[in-house]
Every structure is written in C-alpha cells, then in structure tokens.
C-alpha cells in the first residue's frame, strides 16, 4: 500500500535523488540543492496557507510513499498560477496567409510566435515515478490524485489547467528543436538552457529569443518534425491527460517544442466524476472497482488507492481500517473519491 502526502523537509535527500534520476528536460526539478530545499519550503508554506480568494503563486508538491518500507516512489505537483512573478513563455503555432489575387497565388505558412498566453493558469507539474515502481496502477494514481485535490480546493486554482509535456530529445539530452535555436540565436546547449530556466534565470529568454514570429519552413527538417511531439517516455502521461479531457491548442515549449495541453478545470473527467462519500469501516469491503480517494485536508492531505465500491445512493464508501488509517479518517468522516479509469 502507498500514501500520497505533502512533501516535507525530511524528503530532501530523496527529492535530490529524483532530480538526478529525472534527466534533461525535466525543467521543474533541476539538480540544484538550494533550489530543491527552497521548493520544499515553498510547498510547506503553500499547504499551510489559509484558503485564498483567488489563485496566487503557490506550489503544491506531493510525494508517493510506500507504507511498508517508507521508500519515496515518486513526486507529483500542482502550481496554482504560473507567470505571476516570472514570465511564462510558450511558442504558439499558427498560420499566416500570403495571398495575391492579381497573380492568383494563395499560400499558407506555419509560424511560431513567442507569447505569455498561459499567464495565471494552473499547471500540473513535477510528475515522476521512479523506475522500480513503474508497474500496475502506480503511474495513473500518481497523476490522477491531483484531480481530487483540484476538485476539493477550487479557490486555490485557476479555471484553466495546463500540463507541459516533455519534448523530443536524445540520450544526451540534445533537442533537435533547440539545436536550431542554439545555432542561430543562443550559443548554449539544451541542458544548460533547460537548467537555467529551472532555477528561475529566465532573463536570457527575453534577451536572446527571436523577437518576431519564426516561419517553421525556415527551421531544419529535424526541428520541424518534433514540433508538438513528446518524448517516448512521456507518451503514457499524454494519453492519460487526453483521456481526462485535455487537448492541445498548438502551444509548445520554447526549448524542445513539446506540446502543452490544457483543460477547463470543471471539464476534467475525474474532477467531474469525483464526489464526497461518508466513510464506513468494515473488515472486508465489498466491490471490485479501482478507487482513488483522499481526505479533505490541505496541510494534512492524504490520498491512496483501494478496491471497493461507491454507493452513490447513500453517498457512502466502505473502507478497511488500514485504508482509513492511511487517510487519517474514521467512520463518519467524509472522503473525496472517484473510480480510477
């Protein structure tokens, strides 16, 4: 059994290990000891904060922990509102028309335009499941439990929720898209640019990034081919988000051109299907549904998975004492739950 809970200072060494394991392109968790320590402090402050009237610059970082061994299995996070302190950049892929009626010529061209369109949106981020635990339902639960937290704490988040998908790069961390930008504008490799962004040093983007729309046809063929494409290891995460109602509106990452997908928070499948259920304790819960569930706390948030059934008529759920203990709930308390699809 596992529990998903807010990160704490005691998790520092494990989070640093995960930063090393995650590799290039995992911008939200760079290998930087000071930044990782500050990320934990910021998360603790966010979880401890009173309910806001509107989303602000808060970051909620969770860990998945094996209840038997205490091993940290992975991480998962949510940013309340991006781009309020530091500019949040994307490229938007759009079309321009070159038309001459006199010459009877009509051509369209794809262009990439630098923008800050997602400023203020909430972001799903820092999802990483460690290699030994990549089996069964672990990955799905580590991603989807966040929708229970979103549903229960709507005032902490924006109407639009986004997720940046890691783009195509090779084993050395080199991105075909970035190679073209590096050659013509930046003169620094992709891992360096990715790291600087991860530690918050984004001024170089405004200083060096092309100021005008970039015609896609002018990029190298290798760069063109990866626009809107994801890293092989990111395909499962993208499929999961699409099943939840996320879609691509032609926004891509400025470094590796990976897609950014979005959804209205009220239209996310698990947000819509989750409900509050009153806990009943039993030695042998009936039912065979995969259920993700959480308590209703913020600072003491707990989430896990169980096999049970949801009684939608009486709005009850039967839990074993073990599951109730993991969630820090007792009979008569409420939990938020949804079927794991």
In angstroms, the Cα distances linking 240 to 23, 93, 261, 277, 278 are 22, 23, 11, 25, 28
Average the pLDDT over 261-282 and give the result.
Answer: 97
Residues 288, 177 share a domain: no
CA dihedral 143, 76, 164, 31 (to 10 degrees): -150
Residues 297, 247 share a domain: no
Question: Is the per-residue pLDDT at 60 higher than 90?
Answer: yes
Average pLDDT of every residue of the chain:
93
Which of the four pLDDT bands, split at 50, 70 and 90, describes residue 312? very high
The last residue of a domain, from among 237, 253, 268: 268
Could you give the CA distance from residue 221 to residue 227 in angstroms, rounded to a whole number?
10
Question: Is the per-residue pLDDT at 25 higher than 60?
Answer: no
Asked whether residue 109 is domain-assigned, the answer is no
Smallest CA-to-CA distance from 182 within 252, 232, 256 is with 256
Look at 264-268, 284-288, 321-325 and tell me which has the smallest mean pLDDT: 284-288
Which pTM value belongs to this model?
0.93
Percent of the chain with pLDDT over 70: 98
Smallest CA-to-CA distance from 302 within 99, 67, 49, 29 is with 67
Could you give the CA distance from residue 178 to residue 193 in angstroms, rounded to a whole number?
9
pLDDT value at residue 66: 97
Residues 286, 248 share a domain: no
Indicate which CATH number applies to the domain containing 283.
2.40.40.20
Asked whether residue 297 is domain-assigned, the answer is yes
Question: Is the per-residue pLDDT at 77 higher than 90?
Answer: yes
The answer to whether 231 is a known catalytic residue is: yes
Catalytic residue among 24, 90, 231, 305: 231
Total count of domains within the chain = 2
Residues 243, 312 share a domain: no
The last residue of a domain, from among 251, 268, 285: 268
The last residue of a domain, from among 209, 241, 268: 268
pLDDT value at residue 305: 97
Residues 262, 240 share a domain: yes
Over residues 98-144, the pLDDT tens digits come to: 999 999 999 999 999 999 999 999 999 999 999 999 999 999 999 99
Residues 234, 278 share a domain: no
pLDDT value at residue 24: 64
Smallest CA-to-CA distance from 64 within 17, 1, 16 is with 1
Residues 324, 280 share a domain: yes
Average the pLDDT over 263-288 and give the result.
Answer: 94
**Residues sharing a CB contact under 8 Å with residue 290, sequence separation 6 or more, in sequence order:** 137, 305, 307, 339, 340
Question: Is the per-residue pLDDT at 202 higher than 80?
Answer: no
pLDDT value at residue 91: 95
Range of the domain at 29: 2-90+116-268
Look at 9-13, 60-64, 206-210, 232-236 and tell me which has the smallest mean pLDDT: 206-210
Asked whether residue 111 is domain-assigned, the answer is no
Number of neighbours of residue 157 by Cβ within 10 angstroms: 24
Over residues 142-192, the pLDDT tens digits come to: 999 999 999 999 999 999 999 999 899 887 778 899 899 888 888 787 777
Percent of the chain with pLDDT over 90: 76
Indicate which CATH number applies to the domain containing 257.
3.40.630.30
pLDDT value at residue 31: 82
């Amino acid at each position: 059994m596992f529990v998903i809970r807010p990160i704490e200072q005691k998790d520092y060494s494990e989070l640093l290990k995960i930063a090393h394991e995650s590799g290039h392109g995992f911008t939200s968790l760079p290998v930087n000891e000071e930044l990782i320590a500050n990320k934990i402090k910021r998360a603790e402050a966010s979880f401890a904060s009173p309910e806001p009237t509107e989303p602000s610059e808060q970051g909620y970082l969770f860990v998945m922990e094996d209840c038997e061994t205490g091993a940290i299995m992975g991480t998962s996070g949510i940013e309340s509102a991006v781009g309020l302190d530091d500019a949040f950049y994307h490229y938007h892929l759009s079309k321009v028309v070159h038309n001459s009626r006199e010459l009877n010529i009509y051509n369209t061209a794809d262009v990439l335009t630098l923008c800050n369109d997602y400023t203020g949106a909430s972001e799903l981020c820092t999802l990483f499941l460690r290699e030994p635990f990549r089996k069964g339902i672990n990955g799905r639960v580590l991603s989807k439990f966040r929708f229970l937290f979103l549903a229960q704490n709507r005032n902490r988040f924006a109407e639009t929720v986004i997720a940046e998908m890691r783009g195509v790069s090779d084993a050395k961390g080199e991105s075909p898209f970035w190679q073209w930008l590096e050659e013509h504008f930046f003169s620094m490799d992709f891992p360096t640019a990715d790291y600087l962004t991860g530690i918050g040093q984004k001024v170089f983007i405004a200083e060096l990034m092309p100021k005008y729309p970039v015609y896609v046809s002018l990029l190298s063929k290798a760069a063109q081919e990866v626009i809107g494409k994801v890293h092989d290891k990111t395909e499962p995460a993208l499929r999961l988000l699409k099943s939840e109602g996320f879609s691509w509106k032609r926004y891509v990452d400025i470094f590796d051109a990976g897609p950014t997908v979005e959804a209205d928070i009220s239209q996310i499948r698990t947000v819509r299907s989750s409900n509050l259920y009153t806990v009943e304790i039993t030695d042998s819960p009936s039912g065979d549904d995969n259920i993700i569930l959480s308590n209703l706390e913020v600072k003491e948030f707990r989430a896990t998975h169980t096999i049970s059934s949801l009684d939608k008529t009486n709005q009850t759920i039967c839990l074993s004492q073990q599951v109730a203990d993991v969630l820090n709930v007792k009979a008569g308390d409420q939990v938020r739950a949804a079927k794991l699809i």
